[in-house]
Structure 1
């Protein structure tokens, strides 16, 4: 680990013409410096500016010279506690300021634009250092809000006076500053919005929120700073920024300030570095469990693709077995109190401990622990282990067949597991009321056609209702149709599900190459996002089917478990291509153990020009072995539709509307202490590749 340079600034005593005074910012910097000294044993190099010394010029010079002295492997920390402000954006600024506002820190003599700050920090990061900015101020958005301050809270927002300039005026001032720098031989760029972000930001609030200061243990502090410092003191030496901010966020919520801290960028990468730099910490989990103002919550919600409303309780999370005190990925404390260990495991990790969704919101899910009691002082890494899907909707158009929709709805009510309601389907009055996916049932002359939203027929027509012409068609029992719709909904759910942002994303690459050119480049999708392979010239009676080789490259530094599913347009799914194996770091797995993969039409489809078949290859990557039973489905076959006694959902697994991502159950499915015995929760990710195999037209056919 390299050296740590920290430039820490705080302003309480603002001049009256600049902003109202604050009382907690100097305390913020004092305590932040104490934490830094304690964590580094005094080895950190620290420069502190307070009150009137925090001018725009002094801050810029401190970043450029003091933090700019770092080199590769070092850590540069910039900390600001004070007022924030915003001005109206105009001109070119509107291209990069979606809020229509320019944000700025308020120094003792005026504003320092966020774009200018970002450019300065970017220059430091360009030296190879790890750069972190902690900003405890109303970083943006406060002027347009009428938030009522909580009792004892003071907002850190300064309305901009006209002399600070707005839009192009502020940019003109910036250009004058640049001219002055150029005369002194100093090179700087006021506007670098296009420069990739190479530093990490921990901000006190979102763009549209105020941030506050209040009294804690007899001293005034910023709500965010107090929470962040408390979480950092309770954390282990290798805690990551992601885990640290999650713990601080929980504390902010309990303080009642109404603000939501921000970590940026939050994608896997720099956010998973250890706090204050050092070697990359091991991945903790895709999501975190913490105790917030409304109880236990996981930082994953509808914005990440989870289902809300009725049925959302089918979504579950499981605690990852990551070790305990001293381990890189152990849970960290979100409260400085010495709470007793109340987690399910002897060491407090509760590996496999299950959390069931209670309320799914846009950014988080409120959960209930299942038969175990987490420690409210800790943050636990968790993974999504059961994914509930919203039901597909079905509308019925049946001219001359009164009550058709009601009869189908009654059949759906018994089409689920054990003869209960199907969680995969919901009958609605019209397509306009529908969700996605949506199926249209058009009943006419004793048959029902099942159509996609765009009118494409999905299966051959099924008997339904009565044939008014008396030709013997029709079926008064709609259970076969309900079974078909249930099967289609389950298959669509399997084809379309994707992982939430995961540390395993893009770790395994799928390559499809022609069998007769194994050393050539991999096939790439066309403009429709599909890889297309065509039959070749064979005999006069039968063209030659295409053959390919499919390879799975593990590009990571650890062994990963992979399964490659083949989902066909006959509504089947199987794992025969790559049934589920570990692939070593840097190694390659081969579908069918290296044998060629034949792409061909099924025997039921004539090999005529224009005929085609579609496949979707879905790769599932996990840290450990998964149970593949929920990912396998037989093709839809109306002749095999289940009997009335069996229940329509008994044929295929996973028809309960929930996909489970757990290890193979070695114990018959018993749950003990909120977990499935023998099932180990693992992180996972997915990728889907669309394939189309076609019989080409001759020289006089379409497209010739």
Structure 2
């Protein structure tokens, strides 16, 4: 039967004249021990070191001899509450591993225990098969420190002789493999490596702010809650007391030890984001740096859905900050003591900014003012003030024409007639169409942990098929160039196969969107399927793809067509309806009127929001069909199909 070995170290009574005394560290470890014993079915093997007895040698020995008894399947748990410190590195070698130029350390009763040395000791226990976790409530603990008033910082000023201490474990041999894949311990630290951790009085009893928050989050957490979920809830609680103290989870790699239940268990799929109650109300731990639109009104349309065992309820964004989004629960009341895993179910996308110029600019502006749903302004386009012309598209009117120009001044489409209100509405419809296309083209989520795990490969097809052939390599511009073959009079379009390789260790869902230079977006190549771990999906089930010029474009020397293959990858199925858009047709409005159609391309997404959740799920299908995509990522592969120019003496 698995056994739990626990070591609790608390130091309030530091040597007088060297470092300030603290008042809540012994309370911390007493409360932590009580939580642990309540949590377990069988009593843990506990060792406690306090005050003057918690020397560097005693702590090191207890880790080695007591926690070191943990073998395969056992659990080793360390809790340290006391001072922390930092001091300048003393050798060139240390500068390679201490990016801040400082060494961080726990302060035992007689001096520092460097964090790198502590980490090596704990990883050594993990290497023997034990699940190892540590809680450090001290200043600078995010690298591996508490001040006096109403809140007291647990910080000990360094002594000059500390710069000569050995800091790191011996270097590993070159053939030991990837250290990221080796055994690791999980760390719950009270603050970042450049911050101080504080203690306060709660109900007349002093505790570390982090300890108080962490124990509250642990007791409120549901069975099976992961370290990541508990730390997120504790982080929000800390922020209500100390805005400048940010707890840290390490290592935080998705799908690793941080996503195991507290005190061990099987890895759970990581939540894309976490909903928690913070000092400003409910918030989700992502924001502008994660790709969400920031600024006034940008939160409109962005929503998140609770996933996992609580799948179904939603929250809607009300304010986007750089690293968090303030949200409002939609028709439900979450428990403030808990953190909930959430995934984005819809995203508000930025409108296309345009500048209107010329004598008929007002007519186009009037048409745009009613180009949206219900006769309101279109959410896809906004008229710019010209303050930043490099970031705008331009519409130049005059002489009965409207010229829609790209940023570089080249025409985006052929000139459109502009002689009356009907023509102005066509110009507005074109701008909305281009805006939707560009939103899909720009779709990105660069901070996603799925980035780079799935790749698109385009392979030429020849007499012996595609087997064994090298994939098309990008040219100097980054495009994959595929050329027609055959001489004048009998050009043959290039034939290729397109593969989607999943390099992840789990199945991922993928859709391949073909964005064309006719401003169409189609999902016919790979409409959306799960691809198994380290397996390959094949466009058209491996059949040949012919890259021919679009109808109406002559296959003459020098002619070309452009496609942008947009790959969207997610942990769960995504709604692909917003990814479909017919090519731009200036006369489509007349065709639709003649047929009596009421639905067109602009009706697929009238609100300017990218709806990622699968729509209209039946109750019988279960809640998973209504959840967001989980983690997701998008990348673009530009492809250029070219009819080579004539060569020879007359060329």
Determine the C-alpha separation between the residues in 1 that align with 2:488 and 2:592: 48
Determine the C-alpha separation between the residues in 2 that align with 1:692 and 1:265: 39
* Cα deviation, residue 114, structure 1: 3.3
Matched, 1:421 2:369: no
- 1:159 aligned partner: 157
- CA deviations 1:1-29 (Å, max 9, x no partner) are 95544333221111134311111112212
Q: Secondary structure, in 3 states, of the residue corresponding to 1:250?
A: helix
- 1:683 aligned partner: 630
Pair 648,402 (structure 1): closer, same or farther in 2 beyond 3 Å: farther
* Cα deviation, residue 383, structure 1: 1.2
Contact kept, 8 Å, 1:499 with 1:684, in 2: the verdict is no
- 2:208 aligned partner: 222
- 1:132 aligned partner: 133
Q: Secondary structure, in 3 states, of the residue corresponding to 1:603?
A: coil
Q: Secondary structure, in 3 states, of the residue corresponding to 1:247?
A: helix
* Cα deviation, residue 219, structure 1: 2.5
Q: Secondary structure, in 3 states, of the residue corresponding to 1:134?
A: strand
Q: Secondary structure, in 3 states, of the residue corresponding to 2:367?
A: helix
* Cα deviation, residue 532, structure 1: 1.8
Pair 251,599 (structure 1): closer, same or farther in 2 beyond 3 Å: same
Matched, 1:612 2:560: yes
Determine the C-alpha separation between the residues in 2 that align with 1:90 and 1:694: 58
Q: Name which of 401, 416, 441 aligns with 1:462.
A: 416
Question: Where do 1:166-245 residues align within 5 Å?
Answer: 170=163, 173-174=164-165, 188=170, 196=180, 198-245=184-231
Q: Secondary structure, in 3 states, of the residue corresponding to 1:215?
A: strand
Contact kept, 8 Å, 1:7 with 1:63, in 2: the verdict is yes
Where does the alignment leave 5 or more consecutive residues of structure 2 unmatched? none
Pair 224,506 (structure 1): closer, same or farther in 2 beyond 3 Å: same
- 1:183 aligned partner: none
- 1:654 aligned partner: 605
Q: Secondary structure, in 3 states, of the residue corresponding to 1:312?
A: coil
Worse-matched range after superposition: 418-427 or 70-79 = 70-79
Paired residue total:
633
Pair 609,352 (structure 1): closer, same or farther in 2 beyond 3 Å: same
Q: Secondary structure, in 3 states, of the residue corresponding to 1:480?
A: helix
- 2:639 aligned partner: 692
Worse-matched range after superposition: 198-207 or 502-511 = 502-511
- 1:538 aligned partner: 486
Matched, 1:498 2:489: no
- 1:354 aligned partner: 314
Contact kept, 8 Å, 1:415 with 1:648, in 2: the verdict is no
TM-score, with length taken from structure 1: 0.78
- CA deviations 1:165-190 (Å, max 9, x no partner) are 6xxxx2xx135x89xxxxxxxx7469
Pair 159,462 (structure 1): closer, same or farther in 2 beyond 3 Å: farther
Determine the C-alpha separation between the residues in 2 that align with 1:303 and 1:91: 35
Contact kept, 8 Å, 2:272 with 2:342, in 1: the verdict is yes
Determine the C-alpha separation between the residues in 2 that align with 1:148 and 1:445: 73
Q: Secondary structure, in 3 states, of the residue corresponding to 2:112?
A: strand
Determine the C-alpha separation between the residues in 2 that align with 1:114 and 1:18: 21
Contact kept, 8 Å, 2:154 with 2:198, in 1: the verdict is yes
Contact kept, 8 Å, 1:573 with 1:635, in 2: the verdict is yes
Determine the C-alpha separation between the residues in 1 that align with 2:523 and 2:251: 36
* Cα deviation, residue 608, structure 1: 3.6
Contact kept, 8 Å, 1:286 with 1:683, in 2: the verdict is yes
Determine the C-alpha separation between the residues in 1 that align with 2:261 and 2:243: 27
* Cα deviation, residue 423, structure 1: 1.8
- CA deviations 1:398-429 (Å, max 9, x no partner) are 4xx3683x554443322222321122222223
Contact kept, 8 Å, 2:484 with 2:644, in 1: the verdict is no
Superposition RMSD on alpha carbons, in Å? Answer: 4.1
TM-score, with length taken from structure 2: 0.84
Pair 612,88 (structure 1): closer, same or farther in 2 beyond 3 Å: farther
Q: Secondary structure, in 3 states, of the residue corresponding to 2:339?
A: strand
Q: Secondary structure, in 3 states, of the residue corresponding to 1:566?
A: strand
- 1:48 aligned partner: 48
Question: Where do 1:457-536 residues align within 5 Å?
Answer: 457-463=411-417, 478-499=424-445, 510-516=456-462, 517-520=465-468, 523=471, 525-526=473-474, 530=478, 532-536=480-484
Pair 480,431 (structure 1): closer, same or farther in 2 beyond 3 Å: farther
Matched, 1:279 2:266: yes
Pair 130,697 (structure 1): closer, same or farther in 2 beyond 3 Å: farther
- CA deviations 1:434-470 (Å, max 9, x no partner) are 76xx4244556654443433445432333458xxxxx
